[in-house]
Amino acid sequence: MQASAFTYPATIAAIDIGGTKIAGATVTFDGSDAAPVVDNYVTVPTLPQRGGDAVLASVVEVARTLVETRPDCVGIGVDAAGIVNPKDGSITYGNGLMPGWTGQPLRQRLKDELGLPAAAMGDVQAHALGEMRWGVVGKERQSCLLIAVGTGLGGAFIVDGHVVRGRHGAAGHFGHSLHAAAAGIMCQCGSQGHAECVTSGTAISAIYQGLTVTDRLDPALMGDTVSARAAKGEKHAIEVLHFCGRALGEAIGSWCNIIDPECVVLSGTVTKAGPAWRDAIDEGFAAQILQPLSDIPILQGALGGDAPLIGAAENLRDVMQTWALDY
């Protein structure tokens, strides 16, 4: 199928599939420089323990609801946790938190069930694309490194305005690169010594408890509790946030030495951790960044939960406008 002409205004059904919830909305572009309109929000719980078949059925229902609400939808843009195959939009790999998710034909099922073009990408990749096109990155920049700090440490990077997806769809797994402070610590991925072990929200909780990320952690002492205690002046909490923030800053500095992006964007729940954490990022970054690159700004994401929805919609728009694929 050849790339088709794209007419405006254009409404796209956008869906963001996470481990906790499946969020959907319609995203409408008017073809101008005005930001897209995101509305008709729908949210259902993912309940991943039901298995991949049931999760995909819920995704199809969310898409159906959106298309029934806006019958003028031109297609479906979807993003998902796990690794999404850039060629066919299937799930190359879903981690242990999403049993039966690996191999699910995400894009093809949506296309077949709804009879509309569909495009799929990784959730952090979509987040980066949303912030790049309509968020904090700004129209004057064409590259960025987005780091998502939550339960794990996700990432994505954009070069010349487009997300680098990689052969398997896995480009941007910065959390699984070596970090000196993580030497000898087992990672959730099965290897050891990875940045995620000392920089994620789970790492903050684990280190606070004197444990590591693969240990059983006290759910009453997760990252948000550590942040709250630091805000009240608790020395141990402040020291842990400083350690993890500095470790993340060092990692970001070394990744920037590889990519040399125009900016870094921070997103995810841990970005609310407070000044002890945020100041330590700048300290660690300064310690590792090559001097000529030291002016790379580290920004806070601006779009929140709309970022992946807008990014997933932009991905569909890119596919329909520019790629001669059978989308």
Tell the smallest beta-carbon distance from residue 189 to Zn ion (Å).
3
Three-class secondary structure of residue 103 per DSSP: coil
Q: In the complex with Zn ion, which residue's Cβ is closer, 199 or 315?
A: 199
Nearer to Zn ion, 189 or 302 (CB): 189
Cβ proximity to Zn ion: between 20 and 191 the closer is: 191
Of 144 and 147, CB closest to Zn ion: 147
Interface residue with Zn ion, options 189, 293, 302, 325 (CB under 5 A): 189
Are 116 and 72 spatial neighbours (Cβ–Cβ below 8 Å)? no
What is the rounded distance in angstroms from the CA atom of residue 129 to the CA atom of residue 122?
Answer: 11
* Residues 156, 303: Cα–Cα separation, whole Å: 16
Q: Quickly tell me which residue has 């800053």 as its tokens.
A: 249
Q: C-beta of 175: minimal distance to Zn ion in Å?
A: 6
Residues 298-317 binding Zn ion (CB under 5 A) are: none
Instruction: Assign 3-class secondary structure to 159-194.
Output: ECCEECCCCCCCCCCHHHCECHHHCCCECCCCCECE
CB-count exposure of residue 69 (10 Å: 0-12, 13-18, 19+): middle
Size of the site for Zn ion (CB under 5 A): 5
Minimum CB distance to Zn ion, residue 307 (Å): 24
Residue with tokens 């990749």: 125
Helix locations, 39-186, DSSP H: 52-69, 106-114, 123-134
Q: Are 269 and 200 in contact (CB under 8 A)?
A: no
Q: Does 173 participate in binding Zn ion (rule CB under 5 A)?
A: no
If one asks whether residue 109 binds Zn ion (CB under 5 A), the answer comes out as no
**From 88-96, 119-127, 168-176, 207-215, span contacting Zn ion (CB under 5 A):** 168-176
- Residue from 121, 136, 187, 289 touching Zn ion (CB under 5 A): that is 187
User: Phi/psi class of residue 88: alpha, beta or left (left: φ > 0; alpha: ψ in -120 to 50)?
Assistant: alpha
The CB-of-177 to Zn ion minimum distance in angstroms stands at 8
Quick one: 177 or 288, whose CB is closer to Zn ion?
177
Answer whether 58's CB lies under 8 Å from 46's CB. yes
Least Å distance, CB 252 to Zn ion, is: 17
Query: At its nearest, how many Å lie between Zn ion and the CB of residue 194?
Result: 3
Sole window of 57-65, 90-98, 181-189, 281-289 interacting with Zn ion (rule: CB under 5 A): 181-189
CB 208, CB 237: distance < 8 Å: yes
Q: Which runs of consecutive H residues, i.e. helices, occur in the chain? A: 52-69, 106-114, 123-134, 196-199, 201-208, 223-231, 235-259, 275-288, 306-322
Instruction: Classify 4 as helix, strand or coil.
Output: coil
Q: Closest CB to Zn ion among 176 and 246?
A: 176
| Residue selected from 111, 165, 173, 176 as contacting Zn ion according to rule CB under 5 A | 176
Of the ranges 53-61, 169-177, 214-222, 246-254, which one interacts with Zn ion (CB under 5 A)?
Answer: 169-177
In the list 127, 133, 179, 194, the residue contacting Zn ion (rule: CB under 5 A) is 194
Which chain residues interact with Zn ion by CB under 5 A? 176, 187, 189, 191, 194
